[in-house]
Homo-oligomer: A and B are copies of this chain.
Amino acid sequence: MKFDCPLPFNDNEKINLAHGGGGRRMARLIQEIILPHFPDCDVENIHDGAILEFGSERLAFTTDSFVVTPQFFPGGNIGDLAINGTLNDLAMCGAQPLYLSCAFILEEGYSMESFRQVLVSMGDAATSAGVGLITGDTKVVDHGKGDGIFITTTGIGHVMPGAMIDPRRVQSGDVVIINGPVGDHGMAIMCQRENLAIQGELASDTRTLHEETAAIINQFGEDIHCLRDMTRGGLATVMNEIAQTANATIHLDEGSIPVNAPTKSACELLGIDPLYVANEGKLAIFAAAGIGEDILETLRKTNRLNRPVIIGRVGNLEGPRVILRGVLGGSRILDLLSGEQLPRIC
């Protein structure tokens, strides 16, 4: 007898929460079930969006549904999350965002007052990013067939002329930079959901990142190899995806990865590894060796919210894996999670 683990898909299987969790199950759902029917899709999951030619320009195009629960949480709500998340996906393609669409799926009985608050946040987030929300759609489903509000935002952006963002450009010697402490968004949602009171302020880090990406692309051009926001699945998942696509070994130094104290407390309480927890205002940058310190400087100048650090480097091309050197000196492989750590986090 032969056993496969995880079990292969079969047609009797049903969708479960792990299929949306950002881990291995979700990767397999996309690779094995969805993509075979969509031959034009970016099968290597190169970006969080697609880059295409339109006339003589490069256009970035990305879409995301937001199903976060609870819909209001410290630091934001589903509305600004839906705007910022899609703007950031454009930014990670090396694009400056231009236009957004939004589609609402509302549940019968949803409070008009909550809807107004979500709309105010969406309007504010779009305005402060200088982006036009130009078309949309509204559907209503019966009570019990939805969950208040789901929002799908789609964005169009203009890929910057100097941008050459592609994880396949990640190469031996690259520095790995993140722009600040990880895990805040996911733990803010979890503590709100579970009614946990954590000492200190624990709030989502949702915000836009396209000013940061524009600044470093303008300054360093093609030396910026890859950009990725560390949302579903957190830093660990993003590093694994890039290691796979680039066929590279990424070495990270655990001691250099910052985690805010309240987030650390919440993670310890719930037994969750902050490296797998979703962020909404944090990105990872892979860039040519030697410009690491200059990138830190530019990030700090662009927005005082950035507290950037170099967390590792790309090793020789020994095959796709992520190796984490622990604070006590030992090393371990930082793998993809199989399933779902934190459901409905975005």
Is B38 within 8 A of A136, CB to CB?
A: yes
**A 9-20 binary contact with B (CB < 8 Å = 1; else 0):** 111111111111
How big is chain A's contact interface, by range? 35 or more
> Which of B9, B17, B123, B156 interacts with A142 by CB under 8 Å?
B17
Which B residues lie within 8 Å of A26 (CB)?
138
A337→B193 CA distance, assembly (Å): 41
Could you say which residues of chain B place their CB within 8 Å of the CB of A197?
none
Q: Are B105 and A41 in contact (CB under 8 A)?
A: no
Cα(A19)–Cα(B139), bound, Å: 8
Instruction: List residues of chain B with CB within 8 A of the CB of A41.
Output: 132-136
- Is A34 in contact with chain B by the CB < 8 A criterion? yes
State whether A106 and B11 are in contact (beta carbons under 8 Å apart), knowing that A33-B112, A33-B119, A134-B50 are contacts in the complex.
no
Q: A14-B110, A37-B120, A119-B33 are in contact. Are A61 and B135 (CB under 8 A)?
A: yes
Task: Output the least CB separation between A277 and chain B (Å).
Answer: 17
Task: Report whether B147 and A38 are in contact in the complex, using a CB–CB cutoff of 8 Å.
Answer: no
Within 8 Å of chain B (Cβ to Cβ): is A344? yes
Closest-by-CB residue of B relative to A131 is: B40
- Report A18 CB to chain B, min CB distance, Å: 8
Query: A140 near B343 (CB under 8 angstroms)?
Result: yes
- A198 on the B face (CB < 8 A): no
Determine if A52 is an interface residue (Cβ-Cβ < 8 Å). Answer: yes
A307-325 near B? 1/0 per residue, CB < 8 Å: 0000000000000000000
Q: Is the CB of A135 within 8 A of B65?
A: no
Q: Which of A34-93 contact B (CB under 8 A)?
A: 34, 37-42, 49-50, 52, 54-57, 59, 61-67, 69
| Neighbouring B residues of A147 by C-beta, 8 Å | 141-142, 145-146
- From the candidates B14, B111, B136, name the one contacting A112 in the complex (CB within 8 A): B14
Q: Which of A95-103, A168-176, A219-227, A246-254 contacts B (4 or more CB under 8 A)?
A: A95-103
Is B64 touching A137 in the complex (CB atoms < 8 A)?
Answer: yes
Given contacts A55-B55, A116-B11, contact A134 B101 (CB under 8 A): no
* Of the residues B15, B63, B142, contact of A135 by C-beta under 8 Å: B63
Tell me whether B20 and A134 are in contact (CB under 8 A). no
Instruction: Determine if A108 is an interface residue (Cβ-Cβ < 8 Å).
Output: yes
Q: Are B134 and A52 in contact (CB under 8 A)?
A: yes
**Residue of chain B at shortest CB distance from A18:** B140
| Distance between A84 CB and nearest chain B CB, rounded to angstroms | 15
24 example contacts (A-B, Cβ-Cβ < 8 A) are as follows A11-B116, A12-B112, A15-B115, A18-B140, A20-B106, A20-B138, A20-B140, A20-B141, A33-B115, A33-B119, A34-B119, A37-B120, A38-B136, A40-B126, A41-B132, A41-B133, A42-B135, A49-B135, A61-B101, A62-B101, A65-B105, A67-B139, A105-B152, A139-B344
Interface residues of chain A, those whose CB is within 8 Å of chain B, are 9-21, 26, 29-30, 33-34, 37-42, 49-50, 52, 54-57, 59, 61-67, 69, 98-99, 101-113, 115-116, 119-120, 122-123, 126, 132-142, 144-147, 150, 152, 154, 156, 158, 343-344
13 more A-B contacts (CB under 8 A) besides A16-B108, A67-B141? A11-B113, A13-B112, A14-B109, A17-B140, A18-B140, A19-B138, A37-B122, A41-B132, A42-B135, A54-B158, A61-B99, A141-B344, A145-B146
